[in-house]
Chains A and B, each alone.
Chain A
């Protein structure tokens, strides 16, 4: 059941025809974990709702398993959906919540109870089947919603930010459970999130949406190591990548932030460009004031490592990851450089790093 999205557009009639999505295309393979990620307001939920059939498609085509579904109501698309708010019925027990859709479609009694019981077993909720949703914790409610998706037997499951109502600890746990469940059931899972960590940890393929356009589709490694543009580079990674202006000073060297010179393995083609350096590629050394080029603004201790936020003398902020046994104080003067493992972007943000496989993935 591959899902094919071709040039899908969405405009709302009101709001002066504001474009929410323009020319979105993607192929979602059967049985894969596909994550749609982007900042809030980028149209990712709209895209999911269009796949589900809850929102109309303005232009383009969505096909599921070779069949165009543009005008099919949600129920005929053979999919299931988990909502951010879980959409549980407060007046029904856990068991009845899971059975709701099956009962409504008049499946026979024995089949309903078998499927519901199996689904509840799958998410470890058998003991709580008689509870009402209000008697459950956030994580348990989430699992009821999952059980409902499991019981419906649909081959495609859509999830709209299912973990955003949970606390950080539980989110990590449920992330693993959802991932395990998807692998076990072999369903196609289309998952919307604004959390880049969720996207990176679970996805087979990630679609990055921004400004109503697809920025990049790729595996988590591709997206991280070889981002299509400045936005994708800065969206993934904590703390975010440092983007600075740079200028060409030699065939293979650039001057970063009008400050330090960096020799690269690749030829530099443009005179003015931007350079993206991951915080773990930054090198921070203590330096006397005269030799220094930056001042430490803040140091965050994370256990194994520390994040140093520093300000270059010309005002540009950078963050760097350093081992946790190195000591930096606030307002200490430092010398900041970086390794040659950097990404190059054109002035308008397109990735122009050469020899992408070799250099970037090294």
Chain B
């Protein structure tokens, strides 16, 4: 069967290439294409596309407590959301969080990767230590950081006491709670980001640095004018997935602040979850989910539009 298919297809391709007409699939090709693509299309359809379109559908209705649609309201859910100060504040909080997490994750990841790429004895220990957070689960990290932030016995409190500084109420002060969540998320992301950056930095050919050394270029200049441009594709990749990932952050928020205090860390995803499964307002949370998707898509689009050309050399 396979044999006949190839003998059928090959001469046809050649003829078509000569005539510069469009490449067309034969019935045989379609058969094989469906065998290869079918299972993944089925799974994606069932678990990704169907829920996506279902969410879009629900977002334009009112729902009862079982999540069944009752009354078509068009875009009313959306209008309500964007005019509600609560939701707008959630958007801002999310934005602050995303910017903070992305900036600090990339800055710290780069710093650590650059340090760990030095050829020094025992550097492997640091490489392992820096990447170890990759193996820590969200719940473990949350418990661990809750202990550190604990206002009476936490590490930070002990530290401030030791230095005779005023104690910081990490989780009850709105600003500090945001910092606490950012710090924890950065810490969680750092292991992976560090490893990817380290790989990218290590793969920059050493002759580039040697050529720069011979020409008398300082190490500082080398980092910004050789290392950074050389790893810019990785930088782009990491910033994209960090932005998307932090928009979708849920676990740490749920386990550390639960969106509080006074909605100071009530990110979009956490709000969606609360509105649906505690508020029982499935229509509202579906609309929120769609808005979040649009925001993420918009940011990703911006990144690709303005950065992608610059990072591909």
A positions within 8 Å CB-CB of B: 52-54, 73-76, 79-81, 83-85, 87, 89-92, 100-101, 104-105, 132, 134, 148, 152
Contact = CB atoms under 8 A, between A and B. Distances in A.
B217 A81 contact: no
B30 interface: no
10 contacts: A52-B214, A53-B213, A73-B213, A74-B213, A80-B214, A85-B205, A87-B207, A90-B230, A91-B229, A100-B225
A100 B214 contact: no
A17 B218 CA distance: 32
Contact of A104 (B208, B215, B230): B215
Interface in B191-214: 205, 207-208, 210-214
A79 B211 CA distance: 11
B226 interface: yes
Nearest to B232: A91
Interface in B214-264: 214-218, 221, 225-226, 229-230, 232
Nearest to A55: B210
Contacts of A52: 210, 214
Contact of A74 (B205, B207, B214, B230): B214
B214 A105 contact: no
Interface string B273-309: 0000000000000000000000000000000000000
Taking chain B's interface residues, is the majority helix, strand, or loop, or is none over half, making it mixed? helix
A105 B213 contact: no
B164 to A, nearest CB: 46
A91 B233 CA distance: 11
Contacts of A80: 214-215
B211 A104 contact: no
Nearest to A158: B214
A74 B209 CA distance: 12
Interface of B: 205, 207-208, 210-218, 221, 225-226, 229-230, 232, 313
A130 to B, nearest CB: 14
B209 to A, nearest CB: 9
B313 A101 contact: no
B210 A100 contact: no
Nearest to B310: A91
B212 to A, nearest CB: 7
Given A101-B216, A104-B221, A105-B216, A91 B211 contact: no
Given A83-B207, A85-B207, A91 B214 contact: no
Contact of A75 (B208, B213, B225, B229): B213
Given A75-B213, A87-B211, A134-B313, 20 more contacts: A52-B210, A54-B210, A73-B213, A75-B216, A75-B217, A79-B214, A80-B215, A84-B207, A87-B205, A87-B210, A91-B230, A91-B232, A100-B217, A101-B217, A104-B212, A104-B217, A104-B225, A105-B216, A105-B217, A152-B215
A92 B226 CA distance: 10
A351 B157 CA distance: 82
A89 B214 contact: no
Contacts of B218: 104
B211 A105 contact: no
A17 B113 CA distance: 31
Contacts of B229: 89, 91-92
Contacts of A53: 213-214
A75 B313 CA distance: 28
Contacts of B313: 90-91, 132, 134
A83 B221 CA distance: 21
